[in-house]
Structure 1
Amino acid sequence: MGSATTQALAASTAALAQAKGVTLDTAGELFTAARLVGESGQLSGALADPAAPEGLREKLVASVFASMSDTTRQLLTTAAGQRWSDADGLVDGIEELAIRATAIAAPSDDIEGELFSFLRVIAGNAELELALGGRLGDNEAKGALVEKLLGGTASAPTVLIVSSLVRQPRGRRVRQILNRAMKIVSAQGGRIVATVNTAAPLSAAQRTRLGDALAARYDGQVSINEVIDPTVVGGLRVQVADDVIDGSISARLADLRQKLAG
Structure 2
Amino acid sequence: MSLASREALASARERLDALADNTAVDAAKLAEELAAVTALLDREVSLRRVLTDPAQSGEAKAELARRLLAGQVGEECVELVGGMVRSRWSRSRDLVDAIEELASGADLIAAERAGDLDDVEDEVFRFGRIVASNPELRAALADKVADRRAKAELVRELLGGRANPVTERLVLRLVTAPRGRSLDGGLNALSKLAADRRNRMVAEVTSAVPLSDQQKQRLGEALATLYGRRVHLNLDVDPEIIGGIQVRIGDEVINGTIADRLAEASRRMAG
TM-score class, shorter-chain normalisation, is over 0.9
Q: How does 1:79-118 map to 2 (within 5 A)?
A: 79-107=84-112, 108-109=115-116, 110-118=119-127
Partner of 1:50: 54
Q: Does 1:33 align with 2:42?
A: no
Partner-residue secondary structure (3-state), 1:251:
helix
Distance in 2, matches of 1:33 and 1:114, equals 26
Q: Check the 8 A contact 1:191/1:222 in 2, yes or no.
A: yes
Partner of 1:255: 264
Partner of 1:75: 80
Question: 1:6 offset after TM fit, Å?
Answer: 0.6
Partner-residue secondary structure (3-state), 2:55:
coil
Q: Check the 8 A contact 1:144/1:163 in 2, yes or no.
A: no
Partner-residue secondary structure (3-state), 2:7:
helix
Distance in 2, matches of 1:140 and 1:5, equals 33
Distance in 2, matches of 1:62 and 1:196, equals 46
Q: Which stretch of structure 1 is more off in the superposition, 158-167 or 246-255?
A: 158-167
Q: How does 1:1-262 map to 2 (within 5 A)?
A: 1-19=1-19, 20=22, 21-66=25-70, 67-107=72-112, 108-109=115-116, 110-262=119-271
Q: Which stretch of structure 1 is more off in the superposition, 164-173 or 137-146?
A: 137-146
Letter in 2 for 1:51: A
Gapped regions of structure 2 (runs ≥ 5): none
Q: Check the 8 A contact 1:22/1:71 in 2, yes or no.
A: no
Q: Check the 8 A contact 1:195/1:240 in 2, yes or no.
A: yes
Question: 1:63 offset after TM fit, Å?
Answer: 2.7
Aligned length: 262
Question: 1:100 offset after TM fit, Å?
Answer: 1.3
Distance in 2, matches of 1:195 and 1:157, equals 22
Percent of residue pairs identical: 38
State the superposition RMSD in angstroms. 1.4
Larger RCO, structures 1/2 (Cα 8 Å, 6+ apart): 1
Distance in 2, matches of 1:18 and 1:51, equals 29
Gapped regions of structure 1 (runs ≥ 5): none
User: Runs of 4+ in structure 1 displaced over 3 angstroms?
Assistant: none
Q: Check the 8 A contact 1:27/1:101 in 2, yes or no.
A: yes
Question: 1:45 offset after TM fit, Å?
Answer: 1.4
The CA deviation string for residues 171-228 of structure 1, in whole angstroms up to 9 with x for no partner, is 2111111111110111111111000011111111111111111111111111100121
Question: 1:111 offset after TM fit, Å?
Answer: 1.4
Distance in 1, matches of 2:167 and 2:152, equals 12
The CA deviation string for residues 74-132 of structure 1, in whole angstroms up to 9 with x for no partner, is 11111111111102211111111111111112212121111001101111111111111
Distance in 1, matches of 2:52 and 2:154, equals 33
The change in CA–CA distance for 1:48 and 1:141 in structure 2 (over 3 A counts) is farther
Letter in 1 for 2:77: T
Distance in 2, matches of 1:170 and 1:156, equals 22
Q: Check the 8 A contact 1:198/1:228 in 2, yes or no.
A: yes
Distance in 2, matches of 1:227 and 1:40, equals 42
Letter in 2 for 1:72: C
